[in-house]
Amino acid sequence: MSDQIQTDLPPADDDDTVPGIQIRNLYKIFGPDAAKHVEAVKAGMTKADLNRKHGHTLGLSDISTDLPAGKISVIMGLSGSGKSTLLRHINGLIMPTAGEVLIDGQDVVKMSPEELRAFRRHKTAMVFQKFALLPHRTVMENAVYGLDIQGIPREDSTRRARHWIERVGLKGYEDRYPSQLSGGMQQRVGLARALTNDAPILLMDEAFSALDPLIRVDMQTVLLDLQKELGKTIVFITHDLDEALRLGDKIVILRAGEISQQGTGEEIVLNPQNDYVRAFVKEVNRGRVVRLRSILRRKADAMDWPALHLPGNTTLEEAAQRLIDAPGDLVTVLSRQGQPRGIVGLEDIMRSMLASPKKAA
């Protein structure tokens, strides 16, 4: 049984999502005459040549991607890949040398200063790696800071902030100062502040990278639980593939300012497109990433559907655990509408879990 997606079966039954953020042909060159050199870069001038000949730095090169509305998109890569630079283009903290950043059909690049300020205040909120809390403000005062800037009456902002402080697990700490909190608790304050702002787009720049591993996993769980409730458009920056795979509905992998591969975590793990991505996914626990829908096969005409029925988005690891206690060694894979789409056997699952990533062409 191949570990490739079955092309002779009906397409995966996930919802098609309208892009919340559309990035088109984005270039960023750092230097005093950036616009002068963009055509040379488009024509193929390398980052090294640009720096050597003109003393300019190529930050991003021809970035085009759709980040779906109401989902978590993860932008990942090693240090210097351009991931934080790309994030800052979304809220206009950095302007591109060329290209578009479209949100609700409006190009952030073309916004006036007044429009950009309003956009940042009402449409986006940001959570930083180093927390960025105001040390002289309490937890409550930090949480309402964005609403203070908007001129929201304190009575209203306090009510909203109290709700989110409780939701992130900090009830009872409203009057504490950041110095009295652990790193994980400080990051919860940062998250509560962003949620209190009630912006539809949440930008998270290495938000959990400074936390200890166990606290980091706990914060990932908090974010996933909140996202189930809120359905915000989240753009999350990380250098950690395990974190990207756990959080991301879509993953964009950058290398030296260019997109190396993009897609779902499942697509990237099953079909790495180059050796750079293949090196990332080599040690991934495929059983926690690959879903039944990706390895299902047709049922023989004379065969009854297996008694165990599982949704197509069930991970291989979860399915294997269920099959151990089930009669037989086959599972019926269901569509999103609950209809049988195909079958998977325990042997199929084990073969896919143990398979190595495809060799890059």
| pLDDT tens-digit series, residues 175-220 | 999 999 998 899 899 999 999 988 999 999 998 888 888 888 999 9
In this predicted model, which residue has the larger pLDDT, 157 or 18? Answer: 157
Tell me how far CA of residue 304 lies from CA of 299, 301, 334, 338, in angstroms. Answer: 8, 8, 14, 17
Secondary structure element (H or E) that encloses residue 262, with its range: strand 258-263
Q: Which residues contact 348 (CB under 8 A, 6 or more apart)?
A: 1, 295, 297
Q: In the CATH scheme, what architecture does the domain 67-95+111-286 have? A: 3-Layer(aba) Sandwich (3.40)
Secondary structure element (H or E) that encloses residue 28, with its range: strand 19-30
In this structure, what are the phi and psi dihedrals at residue 168, rounded to the nearest 5 degrees? Answer: -90, 5
Residue type, 136: H
Residues 117, 313: Cα–Cα separation, whole Å: 40
Predicted TM-score of the model (pTM): 0.86
Indicate whether 3 pLDDT > 60.
no
Q: What percent of the chain has pLDDT over 90?
A: 71
* pLDDT at site 358: 65
The β-bridge relationship of strands 233-238 and 72-76 is parallel
Q: Give the residue-averaged pLDDT of 124-131.
A: 83
* pLDDT at site 123: 92
The maximal CA–CA distance of the chain, rounded, in angstroms, is 72
Write the pLDDT tens digit of every residue in 298-352. 988 878 999 999 999 999 999 999 998 888 899 999 999 999 999 999 999 998 8
Q: Which segment, 57-61, 269-273, 279-283, 323-327, is predicted with the most confidence on average?
A: 57-61
Residue type, 72: I
Helix extents (H) in the chain: 34-42, 47-54, 83-90, 113-122, 139-143, 145-150, 154-167, 183-196, 213-230, 241-247, 265-270, 275-281, 316-324, 346-354
Q: Where are the domains of the chain?
A: 67-95+111-286, 287-354
Q: What is the mean pLDDT of the chain?
A: 89
- 3-state class (DSSP) for residue 100: strand
Q: In the CATH scheme, what architecture does the domain 287-354 have? A: Alpha-Beta Complex (3.90)
Q: How many C-alpha atoms does 118 have within 13 Å on its Cβ side? A: 5
Residues 343, 318: Cα–Cα separation, whole Å: 15
Tell me how far CA of residue 23 lies from CA of 13, 198, 224, 267, in angstroms. Answer: 26, 23, 25, 21
